[in-house]
A and B are shown apart, each in its own frame.
Chain A
Amino acid sequence: MENVTLKINGQEITVPADYTVLQAAREAGIDIPTLCYLKDVSQTGSCRMCVVEIKGARNLQAACVYPVSEGLEVFTNTPKVRRSRKVTLELLLSNHERKCLTCVRSGNCELQTLSEELGITDIPYDGERQQHEVDTLSPSIIRDNNKCVLCRRCVSACKNIQTVAVIDATERGFKTTIASPFNKSLAEVPCVNCGQCIAVCPVGALREKDATDDVWEALGNPEKTVIVQTAPAVRAALGEEFGMPIGTPVTGKMAAALRRLGFDKTFDTDTGADLTIIEEGNELLDRIQNGGKLPMITSCSPGWIKFCEHNFPDFLDNLSSCKSPHQMFGAIIKSYWAEKNGLDPKNIVTVSVMPCVAKKFECGRDEMEVAGNRDVDIVISTRELARMIKQAGIKFAELPDEKFDNPFEEASGAGVIFGATGGVMEAALRTVAEKLTGKELSSIDFHQVRGTDGIKTAEIPVGDLTVKVAIAHGLGNARKLLESIRNGEAEYHFIEIMACPGGCVTGGGQPIVPARVQMGIDLKKERAKALYTEDANAAIRKSHQNPDIIKLYDEFLGEPGGHKAHELLHTHYQARSKF
């Protein structure tokens, strides 16, 4: 890429010719406020917060869409610019339900930050305000349009990135509202509950359905044994809620915090992930060797599952019948572990801490129970866990590093990388390759399947077999991949699909990172690094060598894919309407 030199506030800077003025300014260390812009998601130039003066141009220009050019002179801090931004913001705020004191995003709200930075102390235009009903029907997502600033970041995430497209701008002018067709609730349209709309929303207009009260209630009930498990990706991001740098793994402090919150046992969903690999690996081998339906597609991501049920019902038989790791683990806690400890599963409450809000939907699916016991009773997101830790007055950063509880203390490194795109594939390959050949792998790092490309493909030699694999993350990529298979353009044995771009580390339940911070980093990569480091340092790195899992099969489950495993660990799917 060619470079150009321009001047911003008199300061010369040389940048690639395809940069916008906003990018150039950030590189020069000059901050320009933004609201509708979000890297990789939305670049519509519609909110006018980012206006700058350009020498020779009559009107102020939006820096987020204005291209740099040789000799361009930009001014980001003139009286005209400041006045314009301020009026824009004041108008926005005049139609905003300003309830920061009770807003879930207070302290991490881009609108609040702007108001502070632009020195808004009064709203001169307090006129008529649109009143909207809050949509609380979805099991995962609450939409409160009274706080919406119409930046359309959620629309772009849902439509362009996820290709689910169940929300869009409706009406016009003052009545403009983001809504689903015919003002239906998100619960009544094919929303897949991925929560990517929440992750991109700059304000408190979209949030998860908070279940922390349910958890507190269970913890306060002396009759109940309350067991918590945490997904791999949670440890890669929870620290951010307590001011730690992005990508800091906090496994030990997290375990310590959960114990202090009063959970009776603190387990690691990585164990569930190891269990999933045994079952899924066995299923894959069976399908390959016995002419079963191929490609087999992973089933850990409930957003992906619902997307498939609505949009690709012809692929339901391709889905692995395995429940997702936390559902499997929940079922094991309420059977094997309950039995071992002489507890009635009716008195056990299983709580999952997940980077995901679709898991809130998943745990309520009819299929997810055995003998009248729900596998998982409550799902909370990483954000909700952080809230509980704060409510309990626990000083997270000062906690010692502790371990998970026995008997599932030590999961494998393979289980840990489940949280990043390509991780399930890599974990499965480690096990399938050794099971198929009966020989130990010389290297267990499958670099071909790592990284953040939207669709990754590889041919992996396993014994005499060449296993063709593909990995997609983000549902738009999943759609592309499945269409290529549907059209007969591509063929694979095994596919990993994660609903969220980046996989679970950037799931819809993870800490929300402001647009400004996201501009300078690749969030997916930074958080994934934490997981790959934990894997590299793990004593056991293959699921089938996890001693707790070996014991579980010996003592209780019998054979992988056997009768008991099927009853507890496998599930089925249902076609759903496209509309």
Chain B
Amino acid sequence: MKQKTLPFQGTPEQEAQLKKVIAEHKGQKGATIPVLHEAQNIYGYLPIEVQEMISEGLNVPLAEIYGIVTFYAQFSLNPKGKYHIGVCLGTACYVKGSGDLLNKIKEILGIEVGECTPDGLFSLEATRCIGACGLAPVLTVNEDVYGRLVVDDIPGIIEKYRQ
């Protein structure tokens, strides 16, 4: 497993919830996708531990479950960090260098797009146009929007959330 992420921190309550969902769907045809949806609602994402529970519970091979999870964009293998960074790769932002911003963030945080830092603080996503082209290039941290950025702005922004 190459993905960097924070260790699984599922609670007994979440596990009980998931078991209930599995029990409700067991034996039904096409149960896997609905169960994965509910599992993602419970945990926020679908780590290996959760996928193994579903595999065991529904008697569906783990490889098949993983195949489904990676096929559909709405499923996520990684948790969202406390601060979720979205870098706009829409055309306007991209031509103004948002790709360089993204690379800088990856470099500082040591994670790839879709991953979460092991301390659970930051996760990173490449987004489509968020409709702020006038401010290009743009990135968001949770609800905060930063525009007209240059690469040198990045360390300061990240530092701000580390405080």
Contacts and interface: CB of A to CB of B under 8 A. Distances in A.
- A and B associate: yes
Interface of A: 159, 165-172, 179-184, 189, 578-579
Nearest to B67: A168
Interface string B50-87: 01100110000111111100110000010000000000
Nearest to B71: A172
B2 interface: yes
B1 interface: yes
Contacts of B91: none
Contact of B56 (A166, A171, A172, A578): A578
Nearest to A181: B66
Contacts of A184: 1
A170 B61 CA distance: 13
A466 B87 CA distance: 74
B157 interface: no
A181 B71 contact: no
Given A181-B66, A578-B56, A168 B61 contact: yes
Contacts of A168: 61, 63-64, 66-67
A579 B62 contact: yes
Contact of A181 (B2, B56, B62): B62
The 9 lowest CB-CB distance pairs between A and B, nearest first, are A165-B61, A181-B66, A168-B63, A168-B67, A182-B1, A170-B70, A181-B62, A171-B70, A172-B71
Contacts of A159: 61, 63-64
Contacts of B61: 159, 165-166, 168
B145 interface: no
Contacts of B3: 182
Contacts of A165: 61-64
A383 to B, nearest CB: 26
Contact of A182 (B48, B56, B71): B48
Nearest to A579: B52
Interface string B28-55: 0000000000000000000010011001
Interface in B65-115: 65-67, 70-71, 77
A183 B67 CA distance: 10
Interface of B: 1-3, 48, 51-52, 55-56, 61-67, 70-71, 77
Given A165-B61, A168-B61, A182 B66 contact: yes
Contacts of A171: 70-71
Given A165-B61, A168-B66, A182-B1, 12 more contacts: A159-B61, A165-B64, A166-B62, A167-B63, A169-B67, A169-B71, A170-B67, A170-B70, A172-B70, A181-B62, A189-B63, A579-B52
Contacts of A180: 63, 66
A165 B48 CA distance: 16
15 contacts: A159-B63, A159-B64, A166-B61, A168-B64, A168-B66, A170-B67, A170-B70, A170-B71, A171-B70, A172-B70, A181-B48, A181-B63, A182-B1, A182-B48, A579-B55
Contact of A183 (B2, B65, B71): B2
A168 B64 CA distance: 6
A179 B67 CA distance: 8
Nearest to B73: A172
A165 B59 CA distance: 12
A521 B61 CA distance: 32
Contacts of A167: 63
Nearest to A172: B71
Contacts of A183: 1-2
Interface centre among B63, B65, B70, by most A CB within 10 Å? B63
Contacts of B71: 169-172
A579 B54 CA distance: 12
A170 B3 CA distance: 15
Nearest to B47: A182
A297 to B, nearest CB: 23
Contacts of B52: 579
Contacts of A181: 48, 51, 62-63, 65-66
B77 to A, nearest CB: 8
A172 B48 CA distance: 20
B88 to A, nearest CB: 21
Contacts of B66: 168, 170, 179-182
Nearest to A167: B63
Nearest to A155: B63
Interface centre among B2, B51, B55, B70, by most A CB within 10 Å? B70
Contacts of A166: 61-63
Contacts of B2: 183
Contacts of A172: 70-71
A158 to B, nearest CB: 8
A245 to B, nearest CB: 38
Contacts of B51: 181
A578 B56 CA distance: 9
Contacts of B64: 159, 165, 168
A520 B2 CA distance: 44
A507 B66 CA distance: 29
Contacts of B67: 168-170
A514 B44 CA distance: 46
Nearest to B48: A182
B1 to A, nearest CB: 4
A579 B1 CA distance: 13
A579 to B, nearest CB: 5
A165 B63 CA distance: 6
Contacts of A182: 1, 3, 48, 66, 77
Nearest to B52: A579
A100 to B, nearest CB: 30
A42 B73 CA distance: 28
B66 to A, nearest CB: 4
A428 to B, nearest CB: 34
Contacts of A169: 67, 71
A189 B63 CA distance: 10
A188 to B, nearest CB: 8
Nearest to A159: B61
A140 B48 CA distance: 25
A168 B70 CA distance: 11
Nearest to B64: A168
Nearest to B62: A181
Contacts of B63: 159, 165-168, 180-181, 189
A184 to B, nearest CB: 6
